[in-house]
Amino acid sequence: MKKTLYFAFFLTITSVLVTGIAYLGYDLTAPIIAANRDQKIEDNIALLYSSDDGFEKNPDQEDNDYNEKSRKYTDNVSGNIGGIYEVLNTDSELEAIIYNVNAQGRNGLVYALIAVDPYTDEVVGVTYYLHGETPNIGEKHTREEAIVTLLGQYINDVVVDEIAGASVTWGAINEMFSIISAHYIDEEVHING
């Protein structure tokens, strides 16, 4: 009996110590991880609209304008909007709105930045900044050739070409566009003129 008590005591002390150290480690590294992720999104936005061409993120974008409403727009467990960013061109006019969306692919979530022109409702830029799709199969959807077919389509009627054997990835991309479309219509993002 005494022995079991000693074991229980020992195990409790160990678990408390371990939880404490784990929490400490988490506290120290989590901010850095979050900062890395934000930096990656910044870099990828720059891929679509680089600051060399005079584009810049709207510094005055009110935080609660879009982000408060970027809740889940689907019934699915996965897929939501991580953030919405406005891009200004050299004349400080709104050039495009970038949706940071993700959806469940075959190997984890597929993260993409999709840029929409609010004046013409067209898709003007797509880049996949994090995915684990199968190389040469699902990953084909993330290449230049596949992205080019998406540009110029109306955001509410996007048709994604199918690739043999990559139906799960195809479904994920469709889901991303339907999420954006739902938000676009709901929040009346379209700007006239």
Partner 1 sequence: MADKKVKPKGRKKKRITPKQNLIKGIFKENPTFVLVLGMCPTLGVTTSLENALGMGLSVVFVLILTNGLIASIRNIVPSEIRIPVYIVVIALVVTLIEWMLNAYLPDLYDALGIYLPLIVVNCIILGRAEAYASDNTVFDSIFDGMGMGLGFTLGLSTLAFTRELLGTGSVELLNITIYEASVAASFLVSPPGAFLTLGLLIGIINTVRLDREKKKKAIMDEKIRVALAKKAAKKKALEAQQNQEPTINLKEVAF
Partner 2 sequence: MSDLLALAFTSFLVQNIILNQFLGICSFLGVSNKRDKALGMGLAVFFVITLSGMMTWAIYDFILSPTAFNNNTDLTFMRTIVFILVIAAMVQILEMAIKKFSPGLYSALGVYLPLITTNCAVLGVALLNIQYSFTFVETIVFSAFTSLGYTAVIFTFSFIREQMVKAPIPAGFKGIPVGLVAASIMAFIFKGFAGLI
Q: Which residues bind partner 1 (CB under 8 A)?
A: 3, 6-7, 10-11, 14-15, 18, 21-22, 25-26, 28-30, 32-33, 36, 40, 130, 132
Residue 160 carries which side chain, given as an amino acid letter? V
**Closest distance to partner 2 from the beta carbon of 30 (Å):** 8
Q: Choose between 105 and 125: whose C-beta lies nearer to partner 2.
A: 105
Distance CA 100, CA 192 (A): 23
**Closest distance to partner 2 from the beta carbon of 21 (Å):** 10
**Closest distance to partner 1 from the beta carbon of 17 (Å):** 9
Distance CA 45, CA 123 (A): 15
Cβ atoms of 137 and 166 closer than 8 Å: yes
Which residues bind to partner 2, rule: CB under 8 A? 18-19, 22-23, 25-26, 30, 77-78, 104, 108-109, 134, 137, 164-165, 167
* β-sheet bridge partners, residue 85: 98
Q: Choose between 158 and 172: whose C-beta lies nearer to partner 2.
A: 172
**Closest distance to partner 1 from the beta carbon of 109 (Å):** 12
Burial class (CB in 10 A: 0-12, 13-18, 19+), 30: exposed
Distance CA 177, CA 172 (A): 9
